[in-house]
Amino acid sequence: MSNISKVAVITGASSGIGAALVKAFREAGYGVVANSRSIAPSADPGIVAISGDISSPETAERIFSEGVARFGRIDTLVNNAGIFTAKPFTQFTAEDWAANIGTNLAGFFHVTQHALRRMEAQGSGHIVQITTSLVDQPINGVPSVLASLTKGGLNAATKSLAIEYASRGIRVNAVSPGIIKTPMHPPETHAALSGLHPLGRMGTMQEIVDAVLFLEKAAFVTGEILHVDGGQAAGHW
């Protein structure tokens, strides 16, 4: 534990990009507070695993109270937890709406408020949202209004928070991925999904991790929406 000088909170941390981020931040020497709805306890003393739904204010409170109790500080928050529901707009249900708003927006709100209070007290910090390039470049055949509504809100909030907190030593950025090769996409879908990117392939989890770590080190960058999307946001193709 003595080699830990910085601490990162990562939501949606039990699988996919979130699990890859936990691994990368630990390898960089960070203590990690890892959250998801059903995350298992970790044998690594450098990881505090907090299970719970971030749409609940109580979960956000536990993430930070237990994280600070273990490590004494919070330096970075990666708002990675998210829901993507692909349906024609008129087929969305009230349950779809509640789930997307709960995780993508309410979760961000509760967790980020706690992070900013801690960061403001110490005079430094960095917050990164994981959003989607569908906000900037919708794709025919990929109905994504709830993703655009919620993740687009995070893009806007990223810029607003970057300006609000710049003078207090806190940076706020976002990574906007294309379609990433994670366990949620079965191998038989990869060829079709690859064709939805100008570069002709899906992104990798490591490429998203690399983008987050770049922003973590880029001390003169704030308010940035970094597209890691194989060219999707550049326009039609």
For the ranges 50-59, 121-130, 133-142, the lowest mean pLDDT is seen at 133-142
- Provide the pLDDT confidence category of residue 235 given band limits of 50, 70 and 90: confident
10 vs 57, 199, 215, CA distance in Å? 16, 29, 15
Quick one: average pLDDT of 98-124?
97
Nearby residues of 51 by Cβ (< 8 Å), 6 or more positions away: 35, 36, 37, 38, 39
pLDDT of residue 160: 98
pLDDT of residue 71: 96
Residue 1 scores a pLDDT above 80: no
- Provide the pLDDT confidence category of residue 183 given band limits of 50, 70 and 90: confident
The HSE-up count of residue 118 (CA atoms within 13 Å, CB side) is 27
Distance CA 68, CA 210 (A): 26
| 189: helix, strand or coil | helix
- Provide the pLDDT confidence category of residue 236 given band limits of 50, 70 and 90: confident
User: 211 or 5, which is more confident?
Assistant: 211
Domains, the chain, ordered by start: 7-234 (3.40.50.720)
- Provide the pLDDT confidence category of residue 85 given band limits of 50, 70 and 90: very high
Distance CA 191, CA 215 (A): 30
Count CB atoms within 10 A of the CB of residue 215. 23
Q: Round the average pLDDT of the chain to a whole number and report it.
A: 95
Quick one: DSSP state of residue 35? Answer: E
pLDDT of residue 75: 98
- Provide the pLDDT confidence category of residue 5 given band limits of 50, 70 and 90: confident
Residue 178 scores a pLDDT above 80: yes
pLDDT of residue 192: 93
